[in-house]
Structures are given as structure tokens and as C-alpha cells.
Amino acid sequence: MASLQKPAAAVLVLIWGDPPHVLFERKNCSELSRFSCDVALPGGRIMNYESSVDAALREAWEEVWVPPRYIKVLGSLGIFSTKSQPIIYTEAVLGRPRGPIDPRPRDPEVDAVFWVNIESIPGPHPVAHVRRGQVIGVELGHKLVLWGMTLRIVSALLARIRSGAQILDTQ
């Protein structure tokens, strides 16, 4: 859920097409980190000198080779938090490509980059995560499990789209 906390991190929710597709990455399974094997949105920590938008765009460039100049920022979906300790408050920055992009893993912490038609994502249910065991989430494909904060962000975006809110502008 959204929070009034100041975010320590930001993610880019890059949306494109009709039906709407969102760009995801998978955190490298060979890395031993808190997010190993997680399907995620490009993002990370906000530096002292950055806004949430600046951080989301920088992280998308560093992780998945999406140049900031090719992203039109549409706004914020809100601030979300992890549910496990330490709790990290993260702002979800919504954007769309404004030109051709060729996303691909650029950082060793990312081993896959892919678009998903978010309207085709089923409701969450128990699924097997490679590192975490059983979680409540959605299997997107072989070893690709959408769950946790990323699933909550995507669910908020879907709710916004289904409510009739204008997401993608025409310019």
C-alpha cells in the first residue's frame, strides 16, 4: 500500500502499448542478495542529491540500458514498502518510452529483461519461487515469479487502468 514515508528507493514502471505492457527485469540468480531471482522493476536507492524520478531513470539506465532521454515521465503511482525487514520505502515512477529503446541486462545483478502484458497477469496465488520457496504471487514463465512489492505496484497500476484513468498520453 501507499505510504507517507519519504522514499529511500525508486523504481521505473515503464509502460508501453495497447494492451499495456510493463518492462521487468529478473535479479541474477547467481548473486546472493536480498533480491536474488526476483522479478522486479528497474530501480534502486535514491542518492542524496537525487529526486525519485532522477533515481528511477538512472537505475533504469544502469540496469537495463534504457536511456533517460527516451523516457517520458508520466507521474507517480505512489510510495510502496517492502514487508520484510529492513523495510524499504520505494516510489513507483510511471513512464513511457518516447522513442525506440532496446532494453537488455547491463548490470551483473540483472540476468533477464522482458515485457509483460499486465492485463494477462492472473490473480495472485501460491507459487514456487526459486530462492524463497512458496510465496503468494504470479508465475510469468519458467522461474519468473512476480510477487511482493513489485506485484503490489503492478496491481495498483492495473486498478488505475481499469478505473478508466488516463495512463498513456497521446503526445
**Model's pTM, two decimal places?**
0.92
Confidence of residue 141 (pLDDT cuts 50, 70, 90): confident
95-124 residue pLDDT tens: 999 988 999 999 999 999 999 999 999 999
pLDDT digits (tens, 9 = 90+) for 46-61: 999 999 999 999 999 9
Please report, for the chain, the start and end positions of each structural domain, with discontinuous segments joined by +. Answer: 9-162
Using alpha carbons, select from 41, 38, 36 the residue that is nearest to residue 10: 41
| pLDDT at residue 27 greater than cutoff 70 | yes
- How far apart CA 17 and CA 166 sit, in angstroms, is 13
Question: Span 9-162: which CATH code?
Answer: 3.90.79.10
The pLDDT value recorded for residue 152 is 97
CA distance to 24, 65, 109, 171, per residue, from 162 (Å): 21, 30, 33, 21
